[in-house]
Amino acid sequence: MVDIGTNSTRLLIADVARDGTLTQRYRESIVTRLGDRVDATGHLGDEAIERVFQALEHYRRLIDEHGATATTAVLTSAVRDAANGSQFTARVRDDYGLDARTIAGDEEAALTFAGATSERVDDGEQIVVVDIGGGSTEFVIGRDGGVDFHVSTQAGVVRQTERHIRSDPPTHEEVDALRREVAEIIAQKIPAQARSEVSRAVAVAGTATSCAAIELGLEPYDPARVHGHVLTRAKTTQILEQLIPLTNDERRDVKGLHPDRAPTILAGVAMLLEVFEAFDLDHVEVSEHDILRGAALALAARSAAPR
């Protein structure tokens, strides 16, 4: 299972049992920045495409070494938005032998929710799963395994960085403008009633996992410690204030932060704080289970279905 996102290209190799239990064999994430300048140009750039292809060559070897019998790739926001997205998808399919398809934001949200909640004990509370990506952010609200509301918004760490961050280090005014735009997007896209009914949140993907790793001071990264970590609004605010005075080069040295995430982490943390604000949350649970897991479960279900 490969997820080709706006900021990173990720691989999950797993065994899925008939009852839906997923056992991970291998997982890897490479920051490829496919969405670099897509918001401004409307096209996937040649250098960005080449970075993804290099990652896919590596992943294809791993897939073959593990003998995976079903392979697929989902492509998300940057490819949806780019004029040359369909040509890129075709090359992924033809050159790397992956069942590649560009998925709509609604499907991205549903797969993310399925992955994030697949092994949770349902307590009946209304939960929001938040996936802050590079070009879009998905919000999925539901309970008892069912989705009540979902939306894919045009806000992401690459998109918002390119729109607002001009200085190095960034100014407080730039960060405030970024936060205002994200707050407006959330308010416009998610009804106040839906937000008010949420009592718990799960945050997936690179921003949330990076914040957990920074708080825990993880070097190297340890997914077992990140998964299930409770990240508070106060600590997230502290992380943002820690990052704002730093240059991009200085952010690369922050303990717990992968250097390749340095250019966009500030936007991600600022966006996460607006999620706290919009849903009136004191904390979120960080999860390693995300769209990769949801897509793997969906692929396994399709493969097992009678023909």
Model confidence pLDDT, tens digit, residues 98-149: 989 898 877 887 888 888 887 776 677 889 999 998 888 989 998 866 788 9
Q: Which structure tokens are listed for 249?
A: 């080069």
According to the model, what pLDDT value does residue 285 have?
95
**113: in domain:** no
**278: in domain:** yes
pTM of the predicted protein model: 0.84
Q: What is the pLDDT of residues 236-286, one digit of tens each?
A: 999 999 999 999 999 999 999 999 999 999 999 999 999 999 999 999 999
Please tell me whether residues 168 and 154 are part of one structural domain.
Answer: yes
Please tell me whether residues 296 and 272 are part of one structural domain.
Answer: no
Please tell me whether residues 174 and 269 are part of one structural domain.
Answer: yes
204 and 240 in contact (C-beta within 8 Å)? no
Please tell me whether residues 272 and 209 are part of one structural domain.
Answer: yes
**Cα–chain center distance at 75:** 12
Please tell me whether residues 44 and 138 are part of one structural domain.
Answer: no
Q: How far apart are CA 83 and CA 102, in angstroms?
A: 13
Q: How far apart are CA 109 and CA 140, in angstroms?
A: 6
Question: What letter does residue 260 receive in the DSSP assignment?
Answer: G
Please tell me whether residues 47 and 100 are part of one structural domain.
Answer: yes
Please tell me whether residues 150 and 81 are part of one structural domain.
Answer: no
**Residue range(s) defining the domain that contains residue 206:** 120-287
Cβ burial of 295 (10 Å; 0-12, 13-18, 19+) is: buried
Amino acid residing at 21: T
Cα-based torsion angle of the residue sequence 7, 13, 14, 18 in order, rounded to the nearest 10 degrees: 90
Please tell me whether residues 124 and 162 are part of one structural domain.
Answer: yes
**35: in domain:** yes
Query: 66, 112, 74, 111: which is closest to 93 by C-alpha?
Result: 74
According to the model, what pLDDT value does residue 86 have?
93
Question: What letter does residue 103 receive in the DSSP assignment?
Answer: P
Q: Which structure tokens are listed for 71?
A: 């392979």
H-type alpha helices, 136-261:
157-164, 172-189, 192-196, 206-216, 223-226, 233-243, 248-251
Please tell me whether residues 26 and 170 are part of one structural domain.
Answer: no
Please tell me whether residues 201 and 271 are part of one structural domain.
Answer: yes
**112: in domain:** no
Q: How far apart are CA 286 and CA 202, in angstroms?
A: 6
Please tell me whether residues 65 and 156 are part of one structural domain.
Answer: no
**110: in domain:** no
Query: 143, 95, 149: which is closest to 122 by C-alpha?
Result: 143
**194: in domain:** yes
CATH number of domain containing 283: 3.30.420.150
Three-state SS at 31: strand
**275: in domain:** yes
**257: in domain:** yes
According to the model, what pLDDT value does residue 61 have?
95
Amino acid residing at 35: G
Please tell me whether residues 279 and 153 are part of one structural domain.
Answer: yes
Number of helices (H), then strands (E), belonging to the chain: the values are 14, 11
Q: How far apart are CA 210 and CA 16, in angstroms?
A: 27
Q: How far apart are CA 11 and CA 292, in angstroms?
A: 8
Domain tally for the chain?
2
Residue burial 39-67, b: 16+ Cβ < 10 Å; e: rest: beeebbbeebbebbbebbeebbeebeeee
Cα 187 to Cα 66, 204, 214: the distances in Å are: 45, 21, 29
Round the average pLDDT of the chain to a whole number and report it. 90
Q: What is the pLDDT of residues 8-66, one digit of tens each?
A: 899 999 887 766 678 888 989 999 989 888 888 999 999 999 999 999 999 999 999 99
